Chains A and B, each alone.
Chain A
Amino acid sequence: MSRFLPESHLEASSLLGEGTMDYWPEALALTALLIVFGLTAGPAGVLVGLLTAGVWYALGTPYAFAVGHVGIVVAFSDGLDPLTLALLEVPFVALLVGPLVRHHARVRAIGVALTVVLAGSALVWVGTSQLSLSVTALLVLGFLMIVSYGIHRLELVRLGLVRDDRDRAASETATEGRTQ
């Protein structure tokens, strides 16, 4: 675990930085978040931004996303136009992409992140304008599950962990013959 982050912080071991300075992308994203929230929602926005930054430090990016978006709903209780929402999402995307610069496969990882975010957001935008919110929500969940399952299958195929019936039968025969 990084010396800078607490044990409770949620991050993949491959993305952990060694020192405080390694977390400059996240610091940049959180600063942007504070500024954007302050500009769009005033002092309440700054409060939400600070809360989001604190949750990020303590628990990690997914929980910061959850708290930040609940904060948006609270701060903009009267409604929110799509442009402001898009503006508010920029620092969140930066927070999502920021740690990936520390990984050797950063380009592909950033590509995956942006693809999922853009495709998901487009689905929300199109869904809410054409369908009901509950149907859109189901579509979004289905989309995320398909992407996740696709990566899982990719890993199985690449590492040769997929076994067809013929392999399975051969393996069982070998196991029987192994201790004779």
Chain B
Amino acid sequence: MRPTRRSLAVGGLVVFLTALAILFARPALLVGAVGIGAWLCVRQYLFYRELVSTTASLSIRQTPALTGLKTGQSTTVTIGATLEGPSSLSLSIDAGLPVSTVTEADPTLALESETGEATRTMEVSWPVAGRHEFEPARVTASDGLFTETLTLGSTPTVTVQPRGPRSIHVGSGGNRVPVRQGNHPAGKSGSGLVPAELREYVPGETAARIDWKATARLVTPHVRTYDAETDRLTVLVVDHSSTLATGPDGETQLDYLREVALLLAESAHGLGDPVGLWTVDESAITSQYPPSTGPIKRIRRRLLDLEAASEGTRTPQQQSAGSGDPTAALRELRRGGDDSLTATLEPYLGARTGNERFETSGPALSKAVQKALSQQRSSAWVVLLTNDADPSAVRRSVRQAREAESDVLVLLTPTVLFEPGELVDLEAAYERYLEFEEFRRSLDRLDHVTALEVAPDETLTTVLSVGRRRRGVTQ
């Protein structure tokens, strides 16, 4: 209970009369001070009584229209108050919006006793991901002499998810296939620790390879062979041409492919395999990181910086206007002169360069595969991450990789599952998905080629439900 300025003035009056009583030695003034003090105490008591009865009859609801959102999205929040009995107090109610929310509306609601009910709806945006619980609403009650603030009402929770791919499906024909791999067979024997087989000694082999214990046990000379331990060269070729920009903000085809590429790079790095990265757009190789077993920080950073190219082929000058290219930014910075900003930023941007753009005469994807494999002496595991926009370019790239005797993993995003509004006509979407599936299977049938789809799980399930329904009708 806090006094207002009016009741503080009355308190001052008590002190003033008391001072006068002492000054003029007149106890009558002290009796007057007692009377004023009694008035103040009674009003305080009445405020307490009124507050108790008001809070007993007051109910407050805080209701967000949506309880699950993506970062940056807005939803309406309605705050409602109902007073079941009469109250002489003036009530102002502040919505208990979580701290991280942003609203331009006034979150304060005034409740008149005559109406007994009030609601306010406000637009609230949620820029921070996480689970946000509302605070109880803050009710400020006043009778003009005293005020009190208390908390009342429901405390709903809103879950805000970050933008970006949440549920990634990697598989074939709707069936999930694990893409992250553990140890993998090298397909040949050599030096290693894991025994592969015991075989008879063949004349001409070095005597050092004879397993003498096995020879003693089996009478004739025997040789023990081991599984070879080799590193598998992993080459990631990531397409970021303009067609991969299809999809909602933060959930484009490129975003999905980026997640899978990061996973594969981490996985290969974890197994000690050398990992390299080539990125391409429609007409050029936009960056190349030759395979290495060292830290994959630069590959990670490049993948995270990767943006879908703008519509059409971009010239190097246009490329320099983009914000995500450190080489272009460094060039621009150096053009600006030798100032302290250049001196500060140069080392940072210098460390991120390596994204020199190489224009190619044909489709950049196959050129990148060719360039990546031409630099390697051994066969590699080529991972192509692209979509179904240009099937002939994908086929050519796969052929290039197979000619170099490399195993190929093709990760394709079906464009139909990313186009906004495409799922309005599910039948048409399913037909287009079947076309994609036909293309994927044609690649998957090739020797040493695995072709998988990368898609949002929920969307794929929705489209595949059409197929299930059709089969159900047929049966």
Contact = CB atoms under 8 A, between A and B. Distances in A.
A13 interface: yes
B321 interface: no
Interface stretch (B44-52, B221-229, B232-240, B322-330): B44-52
B97 to A, nearest CB: 11
Interface string B40-84: 111111111111100100000000000000000000000000000
Contacts of B42: 96, 100, 109, 112-113, 116
Given A10-B6, A148-B44, A141 B18 contact: yes
A120 B37 contact: yes
Q: Which residue among A10, A108, A158 has the maximum number of chain B CB atoms within 10 Å of its CB?
A: A10
Q: Which residue among B13, B31, B150 has the maximum number of chain A CB atoms within 10 Å of its CB?
A: B31
Contact of B22 (A62, A63, A134, A180): A134
Contacts of B6: 10
B28 A73 contact: yes
Given A13-B89, A108-B49, A144 B29 contact: no
Interface in A9-45: 10-16
B34 interface: yes
A135 B134 CA distance: 53
A128 to B, nearest CB: 5
A112 B99 contact: no
A66 B32 contact: yes
A61 to B, nearest CB: 6
A48 B44 CA distance: 29
Nearest to A155: B48
Interface string A61-90: 111011011101100100010000100010
Nearest to B134: A178
Main secondary structure of the interface of A (DSSP, over half): helix
A129 to B, nearest CB: 10
A15 B150 CA distance: 23
A170 interface: no
Nearest to A92: B35
Interface string B118-134: 00000000001011110
Contacts of A68: 32
Contacts of A144: 14, 33-34, 37, 40-41
Interface string A121-144: 101100010000110110011001
A144 B89 CA distance: 25
B196 interface: no
B52 A148 contact: no
Given A70-B29, A109-B42, A159-B55, A140 B36 contact: no
Contact of A136 (B14, B30, B46): B30
Contact of A62 (B20, B21, B26, B40): B40
A15 to B, nearest CB: 7
A179 interface: yes
Contacts of A76: 28
Contacts of A137: 18-19, 21-22, 30, 33
Given A140-B18, A159-B52, A93 B28 contact: no
Contacts of B145: 10, 12
Interface size class of A (residues with CB under 8 A): 35 or more
B355 to A, nearest CB: 37
Given A10-B6, A140-B18, A61 B45 contact: no
Given A13-B88, A144-B14, A113 B29 contact: no
Contacts of A103: 46, 49
A96 B35 contact: yes
Q: Which residue among B26, B30, B35, B47 has the maximum number of chain A CB atoms within 10 Å of its CB?
A: B35
B98 A179 contact: yes
B315 interface: no
A180 B28 CA distance: 63
B98 A154 contact: no
B98 A178 contact: yes
Contact of A124 (B19, B20, B31): B31
23 contacts: A11-B144, A12-B47, A14-B50, A62-B10, A66-B17, A69-B32, A70-B20, A70-B29, A85-B28, A92-B35, A93-B35, A96-B39, A103-B49, A108-B45, A108-B49, A121-B31, A124-B34, A134-B22, A137-B22, A144-B37, A159-B55, A179-B131, A180-B131
Given A16-B88, A144-B41, 14 more contacts: A13-B89, A61-B39, A62-B10, A66-B17, A73-B26, A89-B35, A92-B35, A120-B31, A120-B38, A121-B31, A137-B30, A144-B34, A158-B48, A161-B150
Interface of B: 1, 6, 10, 13-22, 24-52, 55, 88-90, 98-100, 128, 130-133, 135, 143-145, 148, 150
